[in-house]
Amino acid sequence: MLRKPEWLKVKLPQREEYSNVKKILREERLHTVCVEAKCPNLGKCWDSGTATFMILGDTCTRACRFCATKTGNPKGVVDRSEPDRLVDAVKRMGLDYVVITSVDRDDLDDLGATIFVKTVELLRKSNSQIGIEVLTPDFGGREDLINEVLNSGIDVFAHNIEVVRRISPKIRDARADYDLSMNVLKIAAKNRNVIVKSGIMVGIGETDEEVYRTIEEVATAGVKIFTIGQYLQPTKKNIEVDRYVTPETFKSYEERGKEVGINVVSGPLVRSSYMAKEVYNKVKNA
């Protein structure tokens, strides 16, 4: 097993705000990707009073080899009060920018799109100025469902392609597909009122040249923000780390992004919603 380098060391949560966020999430019975995916930035984000909410429960219908989220069949069960509780939590936390993601829900006819729309609409109604970013499943590539979410009042539509093309079949669930995900991004990019975002992990079996090509592909698809972070094995059941990418190499990814006109946010601890508000404002005001 590879030894984790110094640049991947993270500080433990220290501020009172961390405990406050934890308390609110518990009382509102909400899930976060911070906990479910064992994100290394949990302490930093919660200390700053932010969190990435995960709707539609904590059980994913897919089983990607990199992910620690619980997998199974929720059998069509949907908590219809979840959007209201999420809005309450956002108010209590005093957030002015919210990131909402979800598990995959292939068991639902609408694949979870309706709850995304309801959550966004309630947030927008409660605060017309709040920034809203969604990180969605592929919705089976259905343009009607993707457009429902795009037109719900969001500022950023994110969908991760997760890994480079070559290794996608062996890393992601069989129902996921690189070209399917790329098409989701192309559909989203048709909406000129929304910024499109995606991301991948590295250190999971790819080469740097494949990363460079992926940056070029997503730029061509219309993606404006692309995150690249180090894959970290969350549990022993998940695929092992192939390599630890150096900070210098992450910088080279950002440089390639500049060359092709895309904002690449790249670093060892970067995740999909890393510094989401700051990156959104940078791209919006560019």
Neighbours of 258 (CB within 10 A): 10
DSSP for 25-44, written as a single string = HHHTT-EEHHHHTT-TTHHH
Nearest CA to 95 out of 120, 121, 129 is that of 129
Q: Is 34 flagged in the annotation as binding?
A: yes
DSSP for 182-248, written as a single string = HHHHHHHHT-TTSEEEEEEEESSS--HHHHHHHHHHHHHHT-SEEEEEE----STTSPPP-----HH
Q: Is 45 flagged in the annotation as binding?
A: yes
Q: Is 181 flagged in the annotation as binding?
A: no
List, in order, residues 6 or more apart from 179 with CB less than 8 Å away. Answer: none
Cβ pair 231, 202 in contact under 8 A = yes
Q: Is 252 flagged in the annotation as binding?
A: no
Q: Is 81 flagged in the annotation as binding?
A: no
Nearest CA to 100 out of 20, 25, 158 is that of 158
List, in order, residues 6 or more apart from 210 with CB less than 8 Å away. Answer: 164, 165, 166
Rounded distance, CA 214 to CA 110, Å? 30
180: left (phi > 0), else alpha (psi -120 to 50), else beta? alpha
Nearest CA to 101 out of 242, 272, 274, 286 is that of 272
Q: Is 64 flagged in the annotation as binding?
A: yes
Could you list the residues known to form a binding site, using ranges.
34, 39, 45, 60, 64, 67, 273
Could you list the residues known to form a binding site for [4Fe-4S] cluster, using ranges.
34, 39, 45, 60, 64, 67, 273
